[in-house]
Structure 1
């Protein structure tokens, strides 16, 4: 994208709508996305910071160089030890988030700008610029709250931008955080308190950028760094008044919802008069300390902002969100706001999973078909040869599916894939049999031409002709078996061919005056025996094919269970790691509360920690993994029943009769 687009439009009546053009851009991005959203009071320079992250700045000159030309320098500068102290200057040009030097808010709704990530290959950086909080011309704080909520839920890193210092006024502007429990639910039916307890699992990293900072970083006479400054501001305040409780509730929410916090303080970028036209200033006109801090901020975002991941345990593993998935989330979130006024994260993820998992099944089946077309040359020499190719192609297709599927708790989509792969394999089997039959009939037709010419000349309508015909028919069968590439239906086609000429054999025997009646019976019985031998060979061929297909289905079920088990153990590891992260955060918070003198709150947190530790012990048990594997196995027996023992035993009885 050479310039930003509206992602969410904010109508005059405060109604939010996802913009189709921006959604279309996102749907065209199959790469994982790092989503950085910036929020904060209006007219505080949010767009300026995002333009630096995009390595573009607004200006009146034209012909901006493409971002890809800048990326190479950034990669060398940020990842190499001998790189420059800071990244290259942003490219001037008309593209960029709009800036203004007036008191009127410039950004409305949420703007989006997609760029190649400066430091990570095959990753897209999505920048979201939000409408400023507290614009007096809006008059509806609920609209502010929804814009902020959307930015928070769509991003993997949320930057909160404010000016001056982190004082009570700055915290109060961020008061939209305390209303999140009224607007967001993790699961349908959760209470606000239950939702709040799970928020930290799903919320993005949090960076507070304090602009135009002119004070000294010190607390109680001691020098502190930026992060320590933020933690000092977020300490709970003593007192029991309503005002103090409300202030502490906001601090508690910020501490609970955003365990990963970072702070940057940036001094004034230029002289006050020059600030009116900040976007037009050259790099040399900006203060060195501001450039140093702005570059540190950009490096931190580029290096540490994670790829957007789908929230929580619904995913089998942590699922990287692509641009197309982000488009679906944005669309569903905006729809939920308009319809119910409450966002349910699990419902949105489930709806997204339905579309994505269906696409994953289709992609895996398409991959399987493509691989089979490339590997197979029909007809195959045996059913086993086709089965081996099936196993190789199925393993790769299943791996592709497992890398994409998520929230498939009951393996519904894996079972759908199993069924569709089996159907696709059976289609290849039918094509293989048809190709074999066509090849065999063509060979027999070719070999029969000489016999047919002899018949036309009457060579067999003479004394001894029937014996000569039998000899030529035997030679034909020998030549037939020597031909390569007959495939899996060689015996069955030959049997049908001999059956078709059995009447001719009997007619030639009956007309042969050289033969006695006894000899006629013997010659006819030889023909019957040859047909019986061909039938026996055809039955053996059919039994081998049935057994081979049974073996294919057994191996398919084992491969599905193997890959599912591998995924489930990985899921358990992710769940335990996430649970441990939550427990560690709660323990740190408990220690902080005790140090701040809030023993009652610390005691309540102790009970939460105990429950979390119990949940962790339950997660360690392998029973739920075995339950999922058993369920897949039972369903597989229905989808892949194989050829039943009755069918096989029936074929064997037929074989013995023959």
Structure 2
């Protein structure tokens, strides 16, 4: 740069300042401004068509650019969601998993909205929401599996003393059932006090008690210190305990199902909110572009009148009238119709997902 003439540098700086201060951003016919990346993609497609001998078409190149940009936006948003959720240790409680899902869903939607481009009919945003829903379902399955493994390992550790005593025959004597029951209650107390068991805590405990039902009955029958009436009473207590645990496991599943449906409601409320915000921004951008177009036509008309081309200036009235009508139509119909379509699409998709999850949890098909 030091070798260049100062006058040349001055003129170059003036030219750059003029370009930066006087030119509008490159836009598509609908008024949507192009980012640098989108413009490069558009130019590449257009030039590639010329080099290959095909007839270049701006609309075709724009369609390719839009598809590429939106596909990249979906991938980037999904990666942002997955990256955030991967940091969550498993097993975790359903409430913590749900909170993380909501937080990282919002982050993913922000990433998508910033990068997506003219996503007409919200096709790519719906695709993103479907993929996030699938990712969240997989994570819930992994959390359930991790919870089952953890709870089974915890019960096995807590039952070690009980199993050792059983192997030694410590309970196969008078008063053995009382000692067995006391040790079993210590096991249950230790299990309930343990933290970090995850969503399958009650279900795994229900299975554990059911599996060891025969063992408890055998110890009870072998205890000669108890009368038949006492044995019958203890047997009824065991049955009541099993029934209570079954009810806890059922209640746990029902709470998780309701939480799952609430997650879906929250997810699609966020999705709808993001869609409305984006469409309002796009509508405002289109409105500004129409305002600029009208102003440019008015300026051109004034210049024609000043130069004495009154007939040509009069002909421009038709173009101005068309632009003004387009502005009125845009203000009256554009956003309302788009929002209505968005609400319908989001609600339809939410209903499908909810029904699918509900059917899966109950073992039925939609």
* TM-score, normalising length: structure 1: 0.51
Q: Displaced runs of 4+ in structure 1, greater than 4 A?
A: 305-310, 338-341, 642-648
* Residue 321 of structure 1 pairs with residue 39 of structure 2: no
- Report Cα offsets for 1:225-246 as digits up to 9, x if no partner: xxxxxxxxxxxxxxxxxxxxxx
- Report Cα offsets for 1:307-330 as digits up to 9, x if no partner: 964523274xx34122xx444323
Match of 2:282 among 558, 564, 571: 571
1:340 CA drift (Å): 6.8
- Report Cα offsets for 1:291-314 as digits up to 9, x if no partner: 64344224434x437696452327
- Report Cα offsets for 1:8-33 as digits up to 9, x if no partner: xxxxxxxxxxxxxxxxxxxxxxxxxx
How many Å separate the matches in 2 of 1:629 and 1:571?
14
Q: 1:647 to 1:446 in 2, by over 3 A?
A: same
Report matched runs for 1:91-490 at 5 Å. 91-92=2-3, 283=5, 288=7, 292-301=10-19, 303-304=20-21, 309-313=26-30, 315=32, 318-322=33-37, 325-338=38-51, 342-374=55-87, 376-380=88-92, 382-490=93-201
How many Å separate the matches in 1 of 2:23 and 2:233?
86
Q: Which runs of 5+ in 1 are unaligned?
A: 1-89, 93-281, 652-658
Q: 2:331 maps to what in 1?
A: 620
Q: 1:554 maps to what in 2?
A: 265
Q: 1:463 to 1:292 in 2, by over 3 A?
A: closer
How many Å separate the matches in 1 of 2:163 and 2:287?
77
How many Å separate the matches in 2 of 1:569 and 1:328?
26
Q: Which structure is larger by alpha-carbon Rg, 1 or 2?
A: 1
1:335 CA drift (Å): 3.3
How many Å separate the matches in 2 of 1:585 and 1:341?
34
Q: 1:231 maps to what in 2?
A: none
Match of 2:309 among 590, 598, 611: 598
- Report Cα offsets for 1:440-498 as digits up to 9, x if no partner: 11211111000011101111111232233222212211111011211211111100111
Q: 1:525 maps to what in 2?
A: 236
How many Å separate the matches in 2 of 1:419 and 1:91?
57
How many Å separate the matches in 2 of 1:333 and 1:631?
36
How many Å separate the matches in 2 of 1:304 and 1:444?
72
User: Does 1 or 2 have the higher relative contact order (CA < 8 Å, sep 6+)?
Assistant: 2
- Report Cα offsets for 1:85-135 as digits up to 9, x if no partner: xxxxx245xxxxxxxxxxxxxxxxxxxxxxxxxxxxxxxxxxxxxxxxxxx
How many Å separate the matches in 2 of 1:644 and 1:487?
20
How many Å separate the matches in 2 of 1:429 and 1:526?
35
Q: 2:208 maps to what in 1?
A: 497
How many residues in Structure 1 have an aligned counterpart in Structure 2? 361
Structure with the bigger percentage of helix: 2
Q: 1:179 maps to what in 2?
A: none
How many Å separate the matches in 2 of 1:416 and 1:638?
15
Q: 1:309 to 1:538 in 2, by over 3 A?
A: farther
State whether residues 463 and 513 of structure 1, in contact with CA within 8 Å, keep that contact through their aligned partners in structure 2: yes
State whether residues 31 and 285 of structure 2, in contact with CA within 8 Å, keep that contact through their aligned partners in structure 1: no
Partner SS state of residue 410, structure 1 = helix
